[in-house]
Amino acid sequence: MNLNAIHKVYFIGIGGIGMSAIAHYFASNGKQVAGYDKTPSQITRALEVKGIEIHFEDALDKIPISFFKKEETLIVYTPAIPKNHVELNYFIEHNFTVLKRAEILGMITEATFCLAVAGTHGKTTTSSILGHIMAQVGATSFLGGIAENYNSNLILGDDNISVVEADEYDRSFLQLSPDIACITSMDADHLDIYGDSDSLNSSFIEFAAKVSQTLVVAKGLPLKGITYGINEPSDYKAYNLKIERGKYVFDVKTPSAEMTNIEFHLPGRHNVMNALAAFAMADIYGISLENIKHRLSTFMGVKRRFSYKIKTDNLVLIDDYAHHPAEINVVESSIREMYPNEKILVVFQPHLFSRTRDFIDDFARALSKFDEVLLLDIYPARETPILGVDSEWLLGKITTKCKKQTKKNNLVKDIKNSSAKVVAMLGAGDIGVTILEVTDQLLKTVENET
């Protein structure tokens, strides 16, 4: 399919983080873009500001009439859309060109030199760091989060180089054509799709086989490639890690050179690993080490990835997308590293009934590491409830003495009643919206107290 021959692109699920980046991309390249999503959000509002028409009701009469011209229009949808969706079924039944988001990314990567970042954890931050480094040579980056430097999930460059987040959900990353790729981690996840961890690992092996030039892998993964790690024998090694004035300073040894006193502002050793993965990919591509060092020092982070919403002497509020036990463990250890003597309260919204069921004991162990726990109801996303799988079940397995199941409208009161100085709000559901309201109310309290 020749994307240049397409003049109109209609997105079903346009507010998704991956979908919106492609919508932005097409609109920036002169295509007429419109779409549907279930609910308004900051992402949909940002697209509307760019002139993209969006509606929030699954109804054919809401679609602009010009998008019914079959020969000119491409329909793009996300797998999260239900099978009974009226608009999607209309376009399929009337033989429009209907493609998944991953298929579109596949076409883009096939036509460009592609650097792809895969992994069950770390891929959003790593691809955002890499996109920031590669922006200096005109790369266009499609990200799974909002990069703070650009306030966008798209870093728009030219059509020669692409940086993409390679998503393992629904085996989407197998549609890509990567030239240089990285795999950050292979922990079990998305078992509603894969069934078991062996099937997930097989998909990563299949993805690795698609890489045409160089595969970069975190040290310890069961894959052959250029390795990276912290303080252990690897092709790219970070060492001499120090925390100075709230930032990391470290050295990197490459297969052929050394770079000292690299500054990086994101907290947590996992983020040093993410930076190191991006460092390796950029170096392999051919970016000078000095340029990589400079770009790492100017990277500001990704929204909802250890994002500080409040940072005062009396209260620290951290927002993070962590929705898997391994990610929760990483957030907890990062907070302990930054605030070793403080009591920590976690507010967690489980994401998906199936994920909660599949990792119930791991979730309980991860959350039990915090001093206090506030647990919200499970965010269902694309799923219907599973009998017996709920937050009450999870709460019963958490061993922290100070724990409570709560509702969003009680969060501010619950946080105020806690003696914890550091609060982390975690999850991939609408807790990302809830924290904006919580932040506003807590800031008013802080201002009144001062």
Q: Is 223 exposed, middle or buried (0-12, 13-18, 19+ CB in 10 A)?
A: middle
* 307-311 β-sheet, strand order: 307-311, 316-320, 422-426, 344-348, 372-375, 402-405
Distance CA 55, CA 14 (A): 10
Number of DSSP helices (H) and strands (E) in the chain, helices first = 15, 21
Residue in the block written with tokens 């932005």:
24
Which CATH architecture describes the domain 307-449? Alpha-Beta Complex (3.90)
Q: What is the predicted pLDDT for the residue at 53?
A: 97
The CA-CA-CA angle for residues 154, 129, 179, to 5°, reads 80
Please list, in sequence order, all residues whose beta carbon lies within 8 angstroms of the beta carbon of residue 34, skipping any fewer than 6 positions away. Answer: 8, 10, 11, 52, 53, 54, 63, 64, 67
252-310 pLDDT tens trace: 999 999 999 999 999 889 899 999 999 999 999 999 999 999 999 999 999 888 888 99
Tokens encoding 23? 């919508």
Dist. CA 223–CA 221, nearest whole Å: 6
Q: What's the 3-state SS for 126-159?
A: HHHHHHHHHHHHCCEEEEEEEECCCCEEEECCCC
pLDDT at 192: 56
Q: How many other CB atoms are there within 10 angstroms of residue 448's CB atom?
A: 7
**Domain parsing of the chain, residue ranges:** 3-100, 112-298, 307-449
Q: What is the pLDDT along the chain (450 residues), one digit of tens a residue?
A: 677 778 999 999 999 888 999 999 999 999 999 999 998 988 999 999 999 999 999 999 999 999 999 988 999 999 888 889 999 999 999 999 999 988 999 999 999 999 999 998 889 999 999 999 999 999 999 998 899 999 999 999 999 999 999 988 777 889 999 999 999 988 755 455 555 667 778 889 999 999 999 999 999 999 999 999 999 999 999 999 998 877 899 999 999 999 999 999 998 898 999 999 999 999 999 999 999 999 999 999 998 888 889 988 889 999 999 999 989 998 999 899 888 889 999 999 999 999 999 999 999 999 999 999 999 999 998 789 999 999 999 999 999 999 999 999 999 999 999 999 999 999 999 998 899 999 999 998 766 665
Distance between CA 415 and CA 345 in Å, rounded? 8
Identify the pLDDT of residue 64.
96
> Given this model, what pLDDT does residue 167 score?
85
For residue 272, count other CB atoms closer than 10 A to its CB: 20
Q: What's the fold here for domain 3-100?
A: Rossmann fold (3.40.50)
The CATH fold assigned to 112-298 is UDP-N-acetylmuramoyl-L-alanine:D-glutamate ligase (3.40.1190)
Q: What is d(CA 414, CA 179) in angstroms, rounded to the nearest whole number? A: 49
- 179 contact partners, CB below 8 Å, separation of at least 6: 113, 114, 115, 211, 212, 213, 214
Angle at 287 between CA 283 and CA 288, to 5 degrees: 95
Which pair of structure tokens corresponds to residue 234?
A: 């690897």
This model's pTM is above 0.85: no
Cα distance between residue 181 and residue 214, in whole Å? 7
Please enumerate, as own/partner, the contacts of 390-394 that have beta carbons within 8 Å and a separation of 24 or more: 391/350, 393/356, 393/360, 394/350, 394/356, 394/360, 394/363, 394/364, 394/367
